[in-house]
Amino acid sequence: MQRFRFGIIGIGNIAPVHVAAIQGTPGGELVAIATRNPERGKAFADQHGAAWYADYRELLARSDIDAVTLCTPHDLHLPMTLAAAESGKHVLCEKPMALTVAECDEMIQACQRAGTTLGVVFQGRFEPLAVQLKAAFDTHQLGELVWVSANTVWYRSDEYYKSGPWRGTWAHEGGGVVINQAIHAIDLLQWLAGRPRRVTAKARTLHHSIEVEDAALALLEYPGGRLGLIQATTAAFPGSPERLEFYGTRGSVIYHKGQGRLEWHTVEPREDRVVEAAASSGAAAPMDLTASAHTAQFQDFVEAVRDTRPPRVDGREGRKSIELVEAIYRSARLDAPVELPLDRNVV
Protein backbone atom coordinates (compact mmCIF):
# COMPACT_ATOMS: atom_id res chain seq x y z
CA MET A 1 0.00 0.00 0.00
CA GLN A 2 1.41 3.35 -1.05
CA ARG A 3 2.00 5.61 1.92
CA PHE A 4 0.00 8.81 2.33
CA ARG A 5 1.84 11.12 4.67
CA PHE A 6 0.08 13.67 6.89
CA GLY A 7 1.10 16.65 8.93
CA ILE A 8 -1.20 18.01 11.64
CA ILE A 9 -1.22 21.75 12.31
CA GLY A 10 -2.53 22.56 15.77
CA ILE A 11 -3.07 20.07 18.59
CA GLY A 12 -6.36 21.22 20.04
CA ASN A 13 -9.05 18.89 21.38
CA ILE A 14 -9.71 17.25 18.02
CA ALA A 15 -6.07 16.45 17.11
CA PRO A 16 -5.98 13.01 18.83
CA VAL A 17 -9.05 12.03 16.80
CA HIS A 18 -7.20 13.05 13.64
CA VAL A 19 -4.27 10.86 14.69
CA ALA A 20 -6.62 7.89 15.15
CA ALA A 21 -8.22 8.58 11.75
CA ILE A 22 -4.82 8.73 10.06
CA GLN A 23 -3.80 5.47 11.71
CA GLY A 24 -7.06 3.87 10.57
CA THR A 25 -6.55 4.92 6.94
CA PRO A 26 -4.77 2.37 4.71
CA GLY A 27 -1.30 3.78 3.99
CA GLY A 28 -1.90 6.72 6.32
CA GLU A 29 1.13 7.93 8.25
CA LEU A 30 1.61 10.87 10.60
CA VAL A 31 4.94 12.50 9.79
CA ALA A 32 4.92 15.80 11.67
CA ILE A 33 2.90 18.15 13.85
CA ALA A 34 3.12 21.90 14.29
CA THR A 35 2.13 23.88 17.35
CA ARG A 36 3.71 26.86 19.06
CA ASN A 37 3.83 25.36 22.56
CA PRO A 38 7.14 23.45 22.74
CA GLU A 39 6.31 21.39 25.82
CA ARG A 40 2.96 20.16 24.54
CA GLY A 41 4.18 19.93 20.96
CA LYS A 42 7.21 17.77 21.71
CA ALA A 43 5.20 15.50 24.00
CA PHE A 44 2.46 15.03 21.42
CA ALA A 45 4.96 14.42 18.62
CA ASP A 46 6.98 11.92 20.69
CA GLN A 47 3.82 10.09 21.68
CA HIS A 48 2.92 9.53 18.04
CA GLY A 49 6.38 9.11 16.53
CA ALA A 50 6.27 12.39 14.61
CA ALA A 51 8.49 15.43 14.25
CA TRP A 52 7.54 18.70 15.96
CA TYR A 53 7.73 22.24 14.60
CA ALA A 54 6.88 25.49 16.32
CA ASP A 55 6.30 27.18 12.95
CA TYR A 56 3.82 25.47 10.65
CA ARG A 57 5.63 26.91 7.64
CA GLU A 58 8.59 24.67 8.45
CA LEU A 59 6.25 21.68 8.37
CA LEU A 60 4.88 22.82 5.01
CA ALA A 61 8.43 23.05 3.64
CA ARG A 62 8.94 19.31 4.05
CA SER A 63 8.82 17.40 0.77
CA ASP A 64 7.71 14.14 2.42
CA ILE A 65 4.24 15.39 3.48
CA ASP A 66 1.30 14.89 1.13
CA ALA A 67 -1.44 16.62 3.10
CA VAL A 68 -2.05 18.63 6.24
CA THR A 69 -5.01 18.65 8.56
CA LEU A 70 -5.92 21.89 10.31
CA CYS A 71 -6.90 21.64 13.99
CA THR A 72 -6.44 25.32 14.74
CA PRO A 73 -8.72 28.21 15.78
CA HIS A 74 -11.15 29.18 13.04
CA ASP A 75 -9.49 32.42 11.98
CA LEU A 76 -6.30 30.54 11.06
CA HIS A 77 -7.99 28.23 8.54
CA LEU A 78 -7.75 30.75 5.69
CA PRO A 79 -4.08 31.79 5.98
CA MET A 80 -2.94 28.23 6.68
CA THR A 81 -4.86 26.84 3.71
CA LEU A 82 -3.38 29.49 1.44
CA ALA A 83 0.12 28.67 2.68
CA ALA A 84 -0.45 24.93 2.31
CA ALA A 85 -1.75 25.30 -1.23
CA GLU A 86 1.25 27.43 -2.15
CA SER A 87 3.46 24.63 -0.78
CA GLY A 88 1.66 22.04 -2.90
CA LYS A 89 0.01 20.31 0.06
CA HIS A 90 -3.52 18.92 0.08
CA VAL A 91 -5.67 20.27 2.94
CA LEU A 92 -8.25 18.64 5.19
CA CYS A 93 -9.66 21.47 7.31
CA GLU A 94 -11.62 21.06 10.51
CA LYS A 95 -15.03 22.67 10.77
CA PRO A 96 -16.00 25.43 10.36
CA MET A 97 -14.26 25.91 7.04
CA ALA A 98 -13.67 29.63 7.67
CA LEU A 99 -15.23 32.70 9.25
CA THR A 100 -17.11 33.90 6.14
CA VAL A 101 -18.17 32.84 2.67
CA ALA A 102 -15.60 35.22 1.20
CA GLU A 103 -12.84 33.38 3.07
CA CYS A 104 -14.20 30.04 1.88
CA ASP A 105 -14.02 31.26 -1.70
CA GLU A 106 -10.40 32.34 -1.23
CA MET A 107 -9.52 28.89 0.04
CA ILE A 108 -11.29 27.13 -2.82
CA GLN A 109 -9.66 29.32 -5.44
CA ALA A 110 -6.18 28.95 -3.92
CA CYS A 111 -6.39 25.14 -3.99
CA GLN A 112 -7.77 25.19 -7.51
CA ARG A 113 -4.86 27.32 -8.71
CA ALA A 114 -2.35 25.06 -6.97
CA GLY A 115 -3.97 21.84 -8.17
CA THR A 116 -4.37 20.59 -4.59
CA THR A 117 -7.36 18.93 -2.93
CA LEU A 118 -9.37 20.76 -0.29
CA GLY A 119 -11.61 18.87 2.12
CA VAL A 120 -13.63 20.01 5.14
CA VAL A 121 -14.24 17.78 8.14
CA PHE A 122 -17.94 17.08 8.55
CA GLN A 123 -17.70 13.53 9.78
CA GLY A 124 -21.43 13.49 10.51
CA ARG A 125 -22.07 12.83 6.82
CA PHE A 126 -20.13 9.57 7.15
CA GLU A 127 -22.06 8.17 10.10
CA PRO A 128 -24.13 5.13 9.00
CA LEU A 129 -27.50 6.55 10.01
CA ALA A 130 -26.84 9.81 8.15
CA VAL A 131 -25.92 7.80 5.05
CA GLN A 132 -29.23 5.93 5.36
CA LEU A 133 -31.09 9.22 5.67
CA LYS A 134 -29.43 10.67 2.58
CA ALA A 135 -30.38 7.63 0.52
CA ALA A 136 -33.98 7.88 1.77
CA PHE A 137 -34.25 11.55 0.84
CA ASP A 138 -32.60 11.03 -2.54
CA THR A 139 -35.34 8.48 -3.34
CA HIS A 140 -38.15 10.64 -1.83
CA GLN A 141 -39.19 7.98 0.69
CA LEU A 142 -40.89 10.64 2.82
CA GLY A 143 -42.53 12.30 -0.15
CA GLU A 144 -42.23 16.09 -0.19
CA LEU A 145 -40.73 17.60 2.95
CA VAL A 146 -42.95 20.13 4.71
CA TRP A 147 -41.11 20.80 7.98
CA VAL A 148 -37.52 20.28 9.14
CA SER A 149 -35.54 21.22 12.22
CA ALA A 150 -32.06 20.97 13.73
CA ASN A 151 -31.63 21.13 17.49
CA THR A 152 -28.30 21.61 19.26
CA VAL A 153 -29.33 22.25 22.85
CA TRP A 154 -26.03 21.84 24.66
CA TYR A 155 -24.14 23.08 27.67
CA ARG A 156 -20.67 24.55 27.99
CA SER A 157 -19.19 25.78 31.25
CA ASP A 158 -17.47 29.09 31.84
CA GLU A 159 -14.23 27.12 32.12
CA TYR A 160 -14.70 25.90 28.56
CA TYR A 161 -14.77 29.45 27.21
CA LYS A 162 -11.77 30.37 29.35
CA SER A 163 -9.76 27.38 28.09
CA GLY A 164 -8.48 29.30 25.07
CA PRO A 165 -8.23 33.05 24.42
CA TRP A 166 -9.78 32.58 20.96
CA ARG A 167 -13.00 31.07 22.30
CA GLY A 168 -16.05 33.27 22.53
CA THR A 169 -14.61 35.97 20.25
CA TRP A 170 -15.74 37.33 16.90
CA ALA A 171 -12.22 37.86 15.65
CA HIS A 172 -10.95 34.33 16.25
CA GLU A 173 -13.96 32.03 16.61
CA GLY A 174 -16.16 33.97 14.20
CA GLY A 175 -19.20 33.64 16.43
CA GLY A 176 -20.45 31.32 19.15
CA VAL A 177 -22.74 28.34 19.33
CA VAL A 178 -23.94 28.68 15.73
CA ILE A 179 -20.55 28.53 14.01
CA ASN A 180 -18.92 26.16 16.49
CA GLN A 181 -21.27 23.68 18.17
CA ALA A 182 -24.33 23.81 15.87
CA ILE A 183 -22.32 23.74 12.64
CA HIS A 184 -22.51 19.94 12.36
CA ALA A 185 -26.31 19.88 12.62
CA ILE A 186 -26.54 22.83 10.23
CA ASP A 187 -24.36 21.01 7.72
CA LEU A 188 -26.49 17.86 7.95
CA LEU A 189 -29.71 19.85 7.67
CA GLN A 190 -28.68 21.63 4.45
CA TRP A 191 -27.12 18.41 3.06
CA LEU A 192 -30.35 16.48 3.59
CA ALA A 193 -33.03 19.16 3.11
CA GLY A 194 -31.35 21.65 0.78
CA ARG A 195 -30.68 25.36 1.07
CA PRO A 196 -33.47 27.61 2.35
CA ARG A 197 -34.36 30.74 0.40
CA ARG A 198 -34.83 33.01 3.40
CA VAL A 199 -33.54 33.10 6.99
CA THR A 200 -34.95 35.09 9.90
CA ALA A 201 -32.87 34.79 13.06
CA LYS A 202 -32.40 35.99 16.61
CA ALA A 203 -29.19 35.57 18.59
CA ARG A 204 -28.50 36.31 22.24
CA THR A 205 -25.83 35.94 24.91
CA LEU A 206 -27.93 34.50 27.72
CA HIS A 207 -25.60 32.93 30.23
CA HIS A 208 -21.87 33.22 29.55
CA SER A 209 -19.48 36.19 29.82
CA ILE A 210 -18.50 36.14 26.13
CA GLU A 211 -18.85 38.62 23.31
CA VAL A 212 -20.56 36.17 20.94
CA GLU A 213 -23.90 34.38 21.12
CA ASP A 214 -24.58 31.35 23.28
CA ALA A 215 -28.15 31.00 21.98
CA ALA A 216 -29.83 31.43 18.60
CA LEU A 217 -33.06 30.65 16.80
CA ALA A 218 -33.49 30.73 13.02
CA LEU A 219 -36.69 30.37 11.01
CA LEU A 220 -36.02 28.88 7.59
CA GLU A 221 -38.25 29.37 4.55
CA TYR A 222 -37.72 27.00 1.64
CA PRO A 223 -38.82 27.05 -1.99
CA GLY A 224 -42.37 25.73 -2.24
CA GLY A 225 -43.37 27.14 1.12
CA ARG A 226 -42.02 24.52 3.52
CA LEU A 227 -40.58 25.69 6.82
CA GLY A 228 -37.66 24.84 9.05
CA LEU A 229 -36.13 25.75 12.37
CA ILE A 230 -32.63 25.84 13.81
CA GLN A 231 -32.23 26.19 17.55
CA ALA A 232 -28.85 26.21 19.22
CA THR A 233 -27.51 27.02 22.65
CA THR A 234 -24.67 26.21 25.04
CA ALA A 235 -26.63 27.57 28.00
CA ALA A 236 -28.90 24.53 28.55
CA PHE A 237 -27.56 22.56 31.51
CA PRO A 238 -26.84 19.63 31.44
CA GLY A 239 -27.15 19.50 27.62
CA SER A 240 -29.29 17.25 25.43
CA PRO A 241 -28.23 14.99 22.54
CA GLU A 242 -28.56 16.75 19.21
CA ARG A 243 -31.61 15.93 17.10
CA LEU A 244 -32.79 16.58 13.54
CA GLU A 245 -36.43 16.20 12.47
CA PHE A 246 -37.89 15.74 8.99
CA TYR A 247 -41.61 15.64 8.28
CA GLY A 248 -42.91 14.82 4.81
CA THR A 249 -46.13 14.04 3.00
CA ARG A 250 -45.51 10.28 3.33
CA GLY A 251 -44.18 10.17 6.87
CA SER A 252 -41.45 11.42 9.14
CA VAL A 253 -38.05 10.56 10.56
CA ILE A 254 -36.39 11.87 13.68
CA TYR A 255 -32.62 11.54 13.71
CA HIS A 256 -31.59 11.29 17.34
CA LYS A 257 -28.01 11.90 16.29
CA GLY A 258 -26.57 12.16 19.77
CA GLN A 259 -28.21 8.87 20.72
CA GLY A 260 -27.48 6.94 17.53
CA ARG A 261 -31.10 6.33 16.59
CA LEU A 262 -33.39 6.87 13.60
CA GLU A 263 -37.10 6.93 14.43
CA TRP A 264 -39.21 6.26 11.32
CA HIS A 265 -42.98 6.77 10.93
CA THR A 266 -44.56 6.05 7.54
CA VAL A 267 -48.15 6.69 6.47
CA GLU A 268 -48.67 4.01 3.81
CA PRO A 269 -48.04 1.29 4.70
CA ARG A 270 -48.45 2.41 8.34
CA GLU A 271 -45.25 1.56 10.12
CA ASP A 272 -43.21 2.71 13.10
CA ARG A 273 -39.65 1.47 13.41
CA VAL A 274 -36.34 2.35 14.99
CA VAL A 275 -32.84 1.84 13.58
CA GLU A 276 -29.88 2.16 15.92
CA ALA A 277 -26.13 2.58 15.60
CA ALA A 278 -23.22 3.73 17.76
CA ALA A 279 -23.79 7.25 19.11
CA SER A 280 -21.41 10.21 19.29
CA SER A 281 -22.48 13.44 20.96
CA GLY A 282 -20.87 16.53 22.42
CA ALA A 283 -23.92 17.64 24.39
CA ALA A 284 -22.10 18.10 27.69
CA ALA A 285 -18.44 17.55 26.79
CA PRO A 286 -16.67 18.67 23.59
CA MET A 287 -14.81 15.39 23.08
CA ASP A 288 -17.60 12.89 23.74
CA LEU A 289 -17.11 11.30 20.34
CA THR A 290 -15.38 8.41 18.60
CA ALA A 291 -13.02 8.36 15.60
CA SER A 292 -14.96 5.98 13.33
CA ALA A 293 -16.71 8.64 11.24
CA HIS A 294 -13.54 10.72 11.05
CA THR A 295 -11.69 7.64 9.83
CA ALA A 296 -14.27 7.10 7.09
CA GLN A 297 -13.85 10.71 5.97
CA PHE A 298 -10.05 10.51 6.03
CA GLN A 299 -10.21 7.36 3.92
CA ASP A 300 -12.46 9.09 1.40
CA PHE A 301 -10.11 12.09 1.30
CA VAL A 302 -7.05 9.93 0.60
CA GLU A 303 -8.91 7.97 -2.09
CA ALA A 304 -10.07 11.23 -3.66
CA VAL A 305 -6.50 12.49 -3.92
CA ARG A 306 -5.31 9.20 -5.40
CA ASP A 307 -8.22 9.04 -7.85
CA THR A 308 -7.99 12.77 -8.72
CA ARG A 309 -11.63 13.36 -7.83
CA PRO A 310 -13.25 15.74 -5.33
CA PRO A 311 -13.71 14.32 -1.81
CA ARG A 312 -17.28 13.83 -0.68
CA VAL A 313 -16.98 16.98 1.44
CA ASP A 314 -14.87 19.34 -0.64
CA GLY A 315 -14.51 23.11 -0.32
CA ARG A 316 -17.77 23.80 -2.12
CA GLU A 317 -19.65 21.51 0.25
CA GLY A 318 -17.91 22.99 3.29
CA ARG A 319 -18.87 26.49 2.11
CA LYS A 320 -22.61 25.72 2.23
CA SER A 321 -22.88 25.60 6.01
CA ILE A 322 -20.89 28.82 6.33
CA GLU A 323 -23.32 30.56 3.99
CA LEU A 324 -26.21 29.52 6.24
CA VAL A 325 -24.29 30.52 9.37
CA GLU A 326 -23.46 33.90 7.86
CA ALA A 327 -27.12 34.39 6.94
CA ILE A 328 -28.15 33.66 10.55
CA TYR A 329 -25.68 36.19 11.94
CA ARG A 330 -26.60 38.80 9.33
CA SER A 331 -30.31 38.43 10.00
CA ALA A 332 -29.81 38.66 13.77
CA ARG A 333 -27.60 41.74 13.38
CA LEU A 334 -29.97 43.53 10.97
CA ASP A 335 -33.12 42.30 12.73
CA ALA A 336 -34.51 41.44 9.32
CA PRO A 337 -34.95 38.45 6.99
CA VAL A 338 -31.98 37.59 4.78
CA GLU A 339 -32.29 36.05 1.33
CA LEU A 340 -30.14 33.20 0.03
CA PRO A 341 -27.86 33.06 -1.84
CA LEU A 342 -26.24 35.83 0.15
CA ASP A 343 -25.88 39.30 -1.31
CA ARG A 344 -22.12 39.80 -1.26
CA ASN A 345 -22.58 43.59 -1.28
CA VAL A 346 -24.05 43.52 2.23
CA VAL A 347 -21.63 43.26 5.17
pLDDT tens digits for range 248-270: 999 999 999 999 999 999 999 99
Summarize pLDDT for 234-250 with one digit per residue, the tens: 999 999 999 999 999 99
Are the C-beta atoms of 321 and 189 separated by less than 8 Å?
no
Domain 125-282+322-339 has CATH 3.30.360.10: yes
Q: Say if residue 221's pLDDT is above 80.
A: yes
Are the C-beta atoms of 177 and 138 separated by less than 8 Å?
no
Closest CA to 153 of 253, 237, 219: 237
Write down the pLDDT at residue 24. 97
Summarize pLDDT for 104-144 with one digit per residue, the tens: 999 999 999 999 999 999 999 999 999 999 999 999 999 99
Write down the pLDDT at residue 284. 60
Model confidence at 79, in pLDDT bands (50, 70, 90)? very high
Instruction: Walk across the sheet containing 118-120 and list its strands.
Output: 51-53, 28-34, 4-9, 67-70, 90-93, 118-120
Summarize pLDDT for 150-187 with one digit per residue, the tens: 999 999 999 999 999 999 999 999 999 999 999 999 99
Write down the pLDDT at residue 345. 77
Q: Say if residue 209's pLDDT is above 70.
A: yes
- Mean pLDDT, to the nearest integer, of 14-28? 97
The angle formed by the CA atoms of residues 95, 98 and 99, to the nearest 5 degrees, is 120
DSSP-derived pairing of the beta strands 28-34 and 4-9:
parallel
Write down the pLDDT at residue 288. 57
Summarize pLDDT for 269-306 with one digit per residue, the tens: 999 999 998 776 665 655 556 799 999 999 999 999 99
- Burial class from Cβ neighbours inside 10 Å (0-12, 13-18, 19+) for residue 332 reads buried
The two most distant CA atoms of the chain are separated, in Å, by 62
Q: Where are the domains of the chain?
A: 4-120+291-313, 125-282+322-339
Model confidence at 99, in pLDDT bands (50, 70, 90)? very high
Pick the CATH number of 4-120+291-313 from 3.40.50.720, 3.40.50.300, 3.30.470.20, 3.40.1710.10: 3.40.50.720
What pTM was computed for the model?
0.95
Angle between helices 183-193 and 128-138 (to 10 degrees): 30
Question: What mean pLDDT value characterizes the chain?
Answer: 95
- Mean pLDDT, to the nearest integer, of 205-209? 97
**Following DSSP, what letter does each residue of 94-157 receive, concatenated?**
PSS--SSHHHHHHHHHHHHHHT--EEE--GGGGSHHHHHHHHHHHTTTT-SEEEEEEEEE-B--
Write down the pLDDT at residue 346. 76
Write down the pLDDT at residue 280. 63
- Mean pLDDT, to the nearest integer, of 61-78? 98
